[in-house]
Every structure is written in structure tokens, then in C-alpha cells.
């Protein structure tokens, strides 16, 4: 019966309930089935809030982002980028990739993220660039742009943070080598991560260039078909 919380999570996700509500309900039910007091369960939620930064993201960041979106944050992001003639979906995502990777390389890994940056700003700007150039964007293409926006954030921080010597990944590798009696220098490990980060930037910039080409083939043809032909005098 203690595993009933897992069943609640599965059912909640299947019927598409609010994930935070589902997880909270599963925790409450699991605790009650395990004969814990309501006070003890709430205490554990409080401890998780103070010790786990991901709980803070869900409880604090998401409501703030929701309020900003309700008051037009996404629409303003799309409106601003639509005024930049040189902006394309691939170029905007490339610029964000560079910012994300460089910031992570100096230890600023918290300035980005899916909840804080991708959903409210980066994805709407990328979609706005496509709409400004091609007009109405189909839902499947919009989902593709959002997927690339999320990938830019993930890949940028993944390869950028290894350049920062005090990041957990460097310390983890250094500790692993020490346990196996292999001498390693964290500073040299961080320096050797620079070529990898540059290679990741080049490869992903090419991918985003190809994304622009793909959007041009997919949406450019539709836009040209929908453009009315001028009548001959």
C-alpha cells in the first residue's frame, strides 16, 4: 500500500492533471498510508523546500512566470523580435546558445533554464521571428521551434559548465580519478573542456542554420503561395 503514491502519479500524468498537484497528493497519501502524522508530512515538505532547489523552482519561480505570461510577457517578446529584420529563428537561438554557454563557463548556470528563460522568452522570440518572416506558423512547426529552444539551453549549459573549475562535474571526475589512484588536476580538466565547448558551439550553430533552411523550405513555399499575385496593368 505504501507504493500507492506511484499509482497516483501514473494516473495523474495519464489524465493530464497539474504535475505539482499530482506529486503533492501522492506524497500526502503515501505518508498517511505509512501511518505518518499530517504534521510530519508537512514538515518533510518544508525540509524539501529548504534543501532542494528544484522545489523552490516549482513553488516560487513558476507562479511568477505564470503571472508575467498572463500579463503579456510572451506577446511582448514576440512583438520586440518581429521588429528586427535580420532576426531569424536560428540566429536568435544561436545568440542564446552563446550567452548560455559563456555564462555557464564562468559559473553562472542559474541565469537560464527552461522555466525561467526558455518558455517565457527564448521560445516566444524564436516563434516570433518565424511569424514575422513567414506569417502564421503551423502547430507542428511551432513545437519543433520550442524543442530546439529547449535543446539550446540544455546543450549550452552542459558543455559550458565543464569549463568552470568548481562545477560539480569536474569535482566528481577528479574524485573518481583520486579513488582509482590516478592523479588529476581540476584546472587542466577544465581547460581541456574548452575545445569541446567550442566544438559543441560550432556543431549546434550548423544545426540551427539548417533549422532556418528547413523553415524556409517548409514555410517559405506556403507564404509564396498565399501571396496574391499583382494584376497586370
The three grid cell numbers given for residue 150, joined into one nine-digit string: 529547449
Model confidence band, residue 231 (pLDDT cutoffs 50, 70, 90): very low
Q: Considering only residues 145 and 119, tell me which one the structure prediction assigns the higher pLDDT.
A: 145
> What's the whole-number mean pLDDT along residues 19-38?
82
pLDDT of 123 higher than 50: yes
Q: Considering only residues 190 and 157, tell me which one the structure prediction assigns the higher pLDDT.
A: 157
Output the pTM of the full model: 0.66
pLDDT of 217 higher than 80: yes
The three grid cell numbers given for residue 106, joined into one nine-digit string: 564562468
| Integer Cα distance of 220 and 132 in angstroms | 12
Instruction: Map out the domains of the chain as residue ranges.
Output: 4-51, 74-224
| Integer Cα distance of 196 and 160 in angstroms | 9
Q: Considering only residues 69 and 122, tell me which one the structure prediction assigns the higher pLDDT.
A: 122
Amino acid at each position: 500500500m505504501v507504493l500507492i503514491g506511484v499509482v497516483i502519479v501514473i494516473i495523474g500524468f495519464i489524465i493530464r492533471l497539474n504535475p505539482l498537484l499530482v506529486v503533492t497528493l501522492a506524497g500526502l497519501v503515501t505518508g498517511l498510508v505509512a501511518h505518518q502524522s499530517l504534521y510530519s508530512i508537512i514538515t518533510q515538505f518544508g525540509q524539501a523546500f529548504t534543501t532542494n532547489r528544484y522545489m523552490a523552482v516549482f513553488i516560487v519561480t513558476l507562479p511568477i512566470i505564470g503571472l508575467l505570461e498572463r500579463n503579456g510577457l510572451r506577446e511582448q517578446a514576440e512583438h520586440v523580435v518581429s521588429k528586427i529584420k535580420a532576426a531569424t529563428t536560428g540566429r536568435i537561438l544561436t545568440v542564446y546558445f552563446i550567452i548560455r554557454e559563456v555564462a555557464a563557463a564562468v559559473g553562472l548556470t542559474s541565469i537560464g533554464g527552461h522555466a525561467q528563460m526558455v518558455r517565457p522568452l527564448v521560445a516566444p522570440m524564436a516563434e516570433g521571428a518565424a511569424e514575422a518572416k513567414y506569417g502564421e506558423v503551423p502547430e507542428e512547426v511551432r513545437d519543433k521551434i520550442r524543442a530546439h529552444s529547449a535543446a539550446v539551453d540544455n546543450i549550452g549549459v552542459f558543455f559550458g559548465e565543464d569549463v568552470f573549475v568548481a562545477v560539480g562535474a569536474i569535482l566528481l571526475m577528479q574524485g573518481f580519478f583520486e579513488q582509482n589512484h590516478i592523479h588529476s588536476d581540476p584546472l587542466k580538466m577544465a581547460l581541456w573542456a574548452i575545445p569541446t565547448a567550442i566544438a559543441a558551439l560550432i556543431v549546434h550553430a550548423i544545426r540551427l542554420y539548417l533549422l532556418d533552411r528547413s523553415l524556409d523550405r517548409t514555410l517559405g513555399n506556403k507564404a509564396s503561395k498565399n501571396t496574391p499575385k499583382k494584376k497586370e496593368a
